[in-house]
Structure 1
Amino acid sequence: MAFEHYRNLCAGSLTPCPGMNVIYGRNAQGKTNLLEAVWLFTGGRSFRGARDGELVAFGQEKAALHLQFYSEEREQEAELTIQNGRRSASLNGVPKRSPAELVGKFRAVLFSPEHLSLIKSGPALRRNFIDAALCQVKPAYAPLLSRYHHTLVQRNALLKDIPRHAELLDTLEIWDDRLARYGDAVARERAAYIQKIEAPARELYAGISENKEQFGIQYQKSAENLREALAAARRDDLQSGHTTVGPHRDDLEVTVDGVSARAYGSQGQQRSLVLALKLAEADVLEQEGGEAPVILLDDVMSELDAGRQHYLLNRLDGRQVFLTCCEPGAVKRLEEGALFEVRRGELYVPTSGAGHGD
């Protein structure tokens, strides 16, 4: 990958190995900027919530990124240009109408510190985790989810109007039928996906925890039969003015040794659980799509003990991984792979160590 005028990065390039690539250095040197640049080739926006214009180096008119990668059984090249607050993209020399057209061409799974909220925070983030993963694995899921949310908005608007216009009550049946049809389908897809990632996540967590702890996960529906549940909740819905049951109220229960990770898990356990889920997501994406996604692990080593750090650095076989860290001791635990140091936006390849001669 080559980069020019991207954030604080000095113009240069990154030539990774096919396995573990550790990008280390002190805070605020540019490590996460490298991972962010790679992530943009998935067709998504900055995982840090930055606007496109903020990605261009201070005082420069535009930034340019270039990536060579293997996908769909051939070598491919993608380019991204960021200018005037907008991104433009091309694939194999052909301009794209939008960077979103890169979706599905270059695949990656990301862990960043913000993902810790997956365990700590409320159910909305856990639902978003499932939905985002499903949209990659099964493209037809995205329009289904959109139809459900659109119908939900319409039903909620009707619930607010009925107290002022009683004649609208008879139309609620139509929206109940439609919401139940889409909602039951959404819940089925989510539950099936959780079943797919359960086994690989359990195995990965066992490795990370050195078989000392047991991972558990369960999709929790707010209603088994949504049509019946909507009928039973109609009075409450009319009083509150919104729909109180459905996939938008479902949750994901994650446990360690049978107890709630959200309520009782330590920082290290919660980080390890999210890692297991994200790595399992990569496994399922490979099974369904036939190609292994690149794994991006940002600031992943914090609050992990030496055993868990060693597993991440040396036991993620068969995957191309980019991992950033600050801890000098963690770098020494790398047995095989490539090392890159970032200092004030400049990328250095150490003259000795695991990454030399990869």
Structure 2
Amino acid sequence: MNVRRLSWNHFRNLRAGEFEPCAGVNVIYGQNAQGKTNLLEAMWLFTGERSFRGAKDAELVLQGETAAALRMDFWSEGRGQTAKITVAEGRRTAELNGIPKGACSALTGKFCAVVFSPEHLSLVRGGPSLRREFVDSALCQMKPGYASLLSGYNRTLFQRNALLKDIPRHAELMDTLEIWDERLSQFGERVIRQRTAYLKALSEPAAGFYAGISSNRETLSFVYRKSAEDLRRALAEERREDVLSGHTGAGPHRDDVDIFVSGLNARAYASQGQKRSVVLALKLAEAELLSRMTGEKPVVFLDDVMSELDARRQDYLLNHLTEFQVFLSCCEPGAARQMKSGALFRMEDGALSAVPPA
């Protein structure tokens, strides 16, 4: 799977234009606020997902204009395909191979990619909810049925919490908690099984990518940490505490993933470069699992990835991800001089230009 051509008009600050990337590593460099991330974001939208920056659709249109247009020619499912996205009146609509598709979510599965952005460093630095979200998002992309399972769990959790808040005023409702405990534990145990299975599958490629990034000097491992070993028993034993707090204290919504670099907790002890390397390894491992499932290598977007990485780690990203088409943005072209093959582009004031080989 790869991008063959991208064109744009009135998208963010980008001047109308197009470019044809190579099938390997594509480095886009330029100073801050020139449009590098906007370019990666434009391609990412063809996955059918929302902006990885959390932007609203209305923010994707160049100020002073009423609509933005994107077109991408790409190779997927053994053939060349063309998709178009129009952003107007605060919403995105899509067209695939000349057929209107309505909402952009219809493109899901046609063009697959993974993305790293500096915001993803919170996966290591931040709280448990961010690590749960990483696992859940990956599972939703790989297994469409997981989204329904997770939704069922969250609905049941919401209903149980509402009941917990009502019990102090209506003591007779206490007897109904057992019903909700049973439902919640059934959903919860299935969610936990899916998460632990995914992390088990992720561990081998993640460890391999991290070993490559660190030149085999460090190791990466992680463990799924449950809030309760026996969820059904924990819900029963903690009912009184849950009623007092008005919240459910045990379940997948309280679980976490502990990440270790060379045996030490990454959140507490890893350097900034190591934390960046951990997230990169997890994202690349996510891409590897996607390729095993679909039979095609997803495109990899690495936004502002080179800072805080030493020369060895930069070299790995530039020269050893040969199985993927990679789009990598950075501020200075100096690091790109390590690149042995690939394409170099300069972004300045929203205009993209190819840089001839030195």
One-letter code aligned to 1:13 = E
| Alpha-carbon displacement from aligned partner over 1:125-164 (angstroms, at most 9, x marks no partner) | 0000000000011111000000000000000000111111
Verify the 8 A CA contact 2:71 2:82 in the aligned structure 1. Answer: yes
Q: Is residue 2:309 matched to residue 1:309?
A: no
Give the aligned residue type for 2:57.
D
More divergent stretch after superposition (41-50 vs 126-135): 41-50
Segment of structure 1 superposing worse, 285-294 or 198-207: 285-294
Query: Within 5 Å, which residues of 2 pair with 1:183-194?
Result: 183-194=188-199
Match of 1:91 among 93, 96, 110: 96
Aligned with residue 349 of structure 1, among 332, 336, 354: 354
Q: How many Å apart are 1:224 and its aligned residue?
A: 2.2
Contact 2:164/2:243, CA 8 A, preserved across alignment:
yes
So what's the TM-score if we normalise by structure 1? 0.97
For 1:163, which of 168, 179, 185 is the aligned residue? 168
Structure 1, unaligned stretches of length 5 or more? 354-358
> How far is the alpha carbon of 1:351 from its aligned partner?
2.3
Structure 1 ranges of 4+ moved more than 4 A:
none
Amino acid across the alignment from 1:313 = L
8 Å Cα contact 2:86-2:92 kept in structure 1 = yes
Aligned residue among 9, 22, 28 for 1:23 = 28
- Which amino acid is the alignment partner of residue 36 of structure 2? K
Deviation, structure 1 residue 303: 0.3
5 Å-filtered alignment, 1:156-305, equals: 156-305=161-310
Give the TM-score of the pair, scaled to structure 2.
Answer: 0.97
Q: Name the stretch that deviates more: 85-94 or 115-124.
A: 85-94
Deviations 1:314-356 (A, max 9, x none): 0012101100001222111111111111111111111224xxx
Q: C-alpha distance in 1, partners of 2:325/2:342? A: 10
- Specify the SS of the correspondent of 1:66: strand
Deviation at 1:225, TM superposition (A): 2.0
What is the one-letter code of the residue matched to 1:81?
A: T
What amino acid maps onto 2:103 in structure 1?
S
Q: Quick one: distance in 2 between partners of 1:151 and 1:313?
A: 46
Q: Which moved more, 1:71-80 or 1:237-246?
A: 71-80
Matched, 1:118 2:160: no
Partners of 1:282 and 1:257 in 2: CA distance: 23
> Which residue of structure 2 lines up, in the alignment, with residue 104 of structure 1?
109
Tell me by how many angstroms 1:212 deviates: 0.8
1:13 to 14, 18, 28: 18
Query: Structure 1 residue 53 and structure 2 residue 58: aligned?
Result: yes
What is the one-letter code of the residue matched to 1:117?
S
Task: Write the deviation string for residues 6-50 of structure 1: whole angstroms up to 9, x where unpaired.
Answer: 111111112111111111111111100000000111111111122
SS in 2 for 1:97: strand
In the alignment, the residues of structure 1 paired with residue 86 and residue 97 of structure 2 have an alpha-carbon distance, to the nearest angstrom, of 14
Per the alignment, residue 133 of structure 2 pairs with 128
Aligned length: 353
Task: Report sequence identity in percent.
Answer: 61
Equivalent residue, structure 2, for 1:41: 46
Amino acid at match of 2:114: V
SS of residue in 1 equivalent to 2:151: helix
Who is 2:334 aligned against?
Answer: 329
What per-residue deviation string (whole Å, max 9, x for no partner) do you get for residues 226-273 of structure 1?
A: 111111211211111110000000000101111100001100000000
